[in-house]
Amino acid sequence: MAEQNITNEDSKRSNKNTRFKQLKEKFQGSLKFSFVFFSLIHLATIVIAAVYYDKCPVEPDIPKYLLCLGILGMVTKLISLFKNFLIKHISVSPILSFILTGELTVLIVGSYYVYREYEPNYDPDSGELYCNKTLYLFAFIYMTIIYSLIFLIITIVGCFVLSLVLLDKYGPHDIEEDVGEMVEIPIPTEPGTDAIKQ
């Protein structure tokens, strides 16, 4: 009987390992896709900022912001790509944390530049009030999507935490916690006989 239990436990572990490997293989394709997708977005950010670098006199810091954001994003992706090689030589986590903090800082500062100049004049003849339409709309839409995703993630995490709190407070609990100690109650019998304990 003990051997059968050990065999059942081993088969359960091997099934879990097999399922884990299958999930890992499924997600590896999506991880490669996300890596390529976000790398292309960062590359597009760099290209648009470089092409239209002097085409936004209303706020010359918008192309600088896009350029910094694209470069930091590409560096993050490259470090993630070569993490297994780099980890043998240096500690990667502090570097990634530093770069991601820089990316967040650039995003916040850049949002000030972009949203402050909302709807600039797209006519090149307007002089100092001009900003290239492609440059400005790319920065505006990129930032709006990033902030929407951040808001969505915070909302999902908040709902998850709230559900955990509510389940802990109002959800079903183990019977052992609620029952406590069992108390023996004597059952009354006919007069003159001893009580029977259950």
d(CA 177, CA 73): 51
From residue 158, alpha-carbon distances to 145, 161, 180 in Å are 20, 5, 34
Please give the residue range of the domain that contains residue 46: 2-170
Residue 18 located in a structural domain: yes
- pLDDT at residue 13 above 60? no
Domain count of the chain? 1
Residue 47 lies in a domain: yes
- Domain assignment present for residue 175? The answer is no
Residue 29 has pLDDT above 50, yes or no: yes
Confidence (pTM): 0.66
Q: pLDDT tens digits, residue range 151-192?
A: 999 999 999 999 999 888 887 765 555 455 566 667 777 666
The mean of the pLDDT values for the chain is 80
Helices and strands (DSSP H and E) totals, the chain: 6, 0
Structure tokens, 166: 């509510």
**182, part of any domain:** no
Question: Tokens 């090149």, residue?
Answer: 124
In a domain, 187, yes or no: no
Characterise 14 by phi-psi region: left (phi > 0), alpha (psi -120 to 50), beta (else).
alpha
* Structure confidence by residue, pLDDT tens digits, 77-120: 888 777 766 666 777 778 888 888 888 899 899 999 999 988 88
End-to-end CA distance of the chain: 34
Assess whether pLDDT exceeds 70 at residue 7. no
Is residue 91 included in any domain, yes or no? Answer: yes
Neighbours of 82 (CB within 10 A): 11
CB 30 within 8 A of CB 6: no
Backbone angles phi, psi at 120, to 5 degrees: -75, 175
Asked if residue 191 belongs to a domain, the reply is no
Three-state SS at 196: strand
Q: What is the dihedral of CA 3, 7, 8, 10, to 10 degrees?
A: 140
Residue 196 domain flag: no
CA 167/CA 77 separation, integer angstroms = 39
How large is the average pLDDT for residues 46-66?
A: 92
Closest CA relative to residue 77, chosen from 30, 50, 42, 110: 42
Task: Tell me the three state secondary structure of residue 187.
Answer: strand
